[in-house]
Structure 1
Amino acid sequence: MNAFQPHGSSHQTGLVIAVFGRHYSVETAEGELLSCVMRGKKGGVACGDKVTIRATGTDQGVIEALHPRKTLLYRSDAFKEKIIAANVSQIIIVVAAVPSYSEELVNRCLIAAESQKIRSILVLNKTDLTEPTQNATETLSLYEAIGYPLIRVSAIQNISPLKPYLKNHLSVLAGQSGMGKSTLLNALVPGAQRATADISTALDSGCHTTTHSRLYHLDADSAIIDSPGIQAFGLHHVSNEDIAWCFIEFRPYIGHCRFHNCRHLNEPGCALIIAAENGKISDRRLMYYQKLQQH
C-alpha cells in the first residue's frame, strides 16, 4: 500500500517515531512511514506523540494536530524547554562506572519522572568491568533501598535481566554520553544500528553519538525510545513545593514539620532533617534536595 493519498483525503492517526529538528518521521496504523512537517511554525512534537496527519505526497505529510499526552518528559531552564519523549510509561536511567556518572543527574532524572508519574528504573551497565562496578553498586544501592529497581547488565555480553522490565511499556533511555545507551539499544534491537563510540579516558567522558531521538518497537505492546546523551537536566518546570514530593522516601514526613511553609533547609522542627539525623532517610539525598532548593 502506497503512503500517498490524494489531496483532500481523510486524516489519519500516526505515531511520531523520530524527530529531526522540525521534521518528523511518523508511522501510520498500517505501518507506513511518512516524513512530516508541522502545520504552521509550531514545534514541540516529540518521539512517542500521537498525531493527526494528512498525506500530501508520496511518503510526505503534514501534522495537523497533536493528541493529548499521558506524560511528557522534558528538561528546562529559565529560558527554554527541551522535550525528551511523550507518552512514556517508564524511564530507563543508564549509568556505568566508566566513565564516571553524575549522581546529581540521576536525581534530577528521577525528579522529572516522578513529577509526571513515570516509573523509573536504574540500569548499571558495563558490569563486565568488575572492580569499578562494585563501587558503583555500593553508591546505587541507596536508590534500590528506597524502591527503584536496579538492573545490572553488560550491553556487550548479556542484557537479559532488563528485558522483562520492558514488557508492555513505552520506555525511554536516558543518561550521560558514554554510559552505553546505544550499545544497549543495539542489543535490544539488533537492526537499530545506533552509532557507538569509544570513551575518552583522559577526559573521563563519553562521545556524543546519538543526535536525535528514535522510537523502536520491541513487540506489539512494547517500545523503547533512544535519546541523545544529556550532561545537564534542568528542572525549572518543577515547583519548589513539588520537588520534595518527588523524593519518594520523603513523602511520609512531608506535612509534619513545625512550620507549614518549611523548605527543609535549616528550619527548626523540620521533619526531614530530624528523619535524616535519625537515619530514616539518606543524608545524601537530603543534600541533593537542599542543593536544588538553593538554586
Structure 2
Amino acid sequence: MQGTIVAAYGKRFQVELLDKKRISCVTRGKKTDLACGDMVTIKLTDKHEGVIESTLPRKTLLYRSNAFKSKMLAANVTQIIIVLATQPSFYEALLNRCLIAAEAANIKALIVLNKCDLADNDDAKQKLALYTNLGYQVLSLSAKEDISTLRPYLQGHASILVGQSGMGKSTIINALLPDEDVRTREVSHVLDSGKHTTTAAHLYHLDEHSQLIDSPGLQEFGLHHLSTDELEHAFIEFRPYLGKCRFNNCKHLQEPDCAIKDAVAANTISADRLATYQMFRTEISH
C-alpha cells in the first residue's frame, strides 16, 4: 500500500493512503530518516496501524543540521515560506540560514512579513529590502486581518511554513484552514503524543493540487550538512563571481584578489551578506 506521511512525531508517523484513509505507522528497526511529505509503502498490522516498509524517491528534501546530527524538515516540497513578523523582531541570521538551505535544496523561497497591521513596521521592511533586491519575493500581510494575498502563492505548490516561534505561523494556518485545529489535536491523541504537538510537523491539503506543511517553531537552523562549495553557490548574488578569484580555492575570507570581496567594495554585493557567508563558512568548517 502506498501513501504520504502527513504527520511526523518522532518515531511515529501518520500516513495518508491514496483513498485518503489515515494509518498510524512505525518504522522497521531504528530507521527514522523520514519526513512529512515523504511518499512511502506500508504494510498493515491492524485495521488502523501499520509498518512503513520503504520510501519512494524524493524530488526534494529540506534539512537543518548541527555538528552532530541532521534533521529532515520536509520531503517533496516545492516552496519554503519563511514567516517573519514586524514584532517581535526577527533574527536575520535565521532568515539567511533558511534561504541558504532552500537554495541548496533547489526549493523556491517566499518571505512573508506578518503582523503588518502593527504601527511600527518600517524597520522590518527596511531590513527586507536587501532580499527584495536579490530577487526574493517578499509579501507583507496581517494574517489576523486578511490572508487572501497569500493564497495565490500557495496554488499548485507543496509548501512548508518555517519561522521562529511567535512570528504567527499558527495564525496563518488557522486563517487558511479554520477547520483543521481540531483534527490536529485528534491526530496528536491518536499518535499518543498530544503533549508534543509543537514538535510535530503536519501536512494539510489546501486543495487538490496544493499542500501546506506546518513545521515546529525554529530557534536555530544549522547548515552543517552543506559542503563549502554548496554554501557559496547558495548565496545567489555570488554566482556570477565564482571561479573569477585569483586563487581557484579562494574561501572569500582573507585571500587577495577575491572577486567576491571586490564586488563588495564596488557595492554590488552587500557587506552584510559577505559577513554572513564568512560566519556560516567558519561554522561548517569546524
- Give the TM-score category using the shorter length: over 0.9
Partner of 1:5: none
CA distance in 2, matches of 1:226, 1:54: 27
Partner of 1:172: 160
1:106 aligns with 2:103: no
Query: Residues 234 and 221 of structure 1: is their aligned pair in 2 closer, same or farther, counting only changes over 3 Å?
Result: same
1:281 aligns with 2:281: no
Equivalent residues of 1:27, 1:34 under 8 A apart: yes
Query: Residues 90 and 44 of structure 1: is their aligned pair in 2 closer, same or farther, counting only changes over 3 Å?
Result: same
Cα deviations by residue, 1:161-188 (Å, 9 ceiling, x for unpaired):
1111111110000010000001111111
1:227 to 215, 226, 229: 215
- State the superposition RMSD in angstroms: 1.4
Partner of 2:240: 252
CA distance in 2, matches of 1:97, 1:153: 10
CA distance in 2, matches of 1:54, 1:279: 58
**TM-score if structure 2 supplies the norm length?**
0.92
Identity percentage over the alignment? 53
**TM-score if structure 1 supplies the norm length?**
0.89
Equivalent residues of 1:174, 1:229 under 8 A apart: yes
Equivalent residues of 1:182, 1:210 under 8 A apart: no
1:30 to 19, 35, 50: 19
Q: CA deviation at 1:209?
A: 7.3
CA distance in 1, matches of 2:34, 2:239: 33
Q: Which runs of 5+ in 1 are unaligned?
A: 1-11, 196-207
Partner of 2:42: 53
CA distance in 1, matches of 2:69, 2:255: 33
1:216 to 190, 204, 207: 204
* Alignment coverage as a number of residue pairs: 271
Q: CA deviation at 1:291?
A: 1.1
Q: CA deviation at 1:210?
A: 2.5
Identify the structure with the greater helix proportion.
2
Cα deviations by residue, 1:85-124 (Å, 9 ceiling, x for unpaired):
1111110000012112110011011111111100001000
Equivalent residues of 1:15, 1:51 under 8 A apart: yes
By relative contact order (CA 8 Å, sep 6+), the higher-ranking structure is 2
Partner of 1:19: 8
Equivalent residues of 2:89, 2:124 under 8 A apart: no
Partner of 1:267: 255
Partner of 1:147: 135
Cα deviations by residue, 1:252-287 (Å, 9 ceiling, x for unpaired):
111111111111112111011010111111111111
Partner of 2:62: 73
CA distance in 1, matches of 2:197, 2:56: 31
CA distance in 2, matches of 1:45, 1:268: 44
The one-letter code sitting in structure 2 at the alignment partner of 1:58 is K
CA distance in 2, matches of 1:78, 1:279: 34
The one-letter code sitting in structure 2 at the alignment partner of 1:285 is R
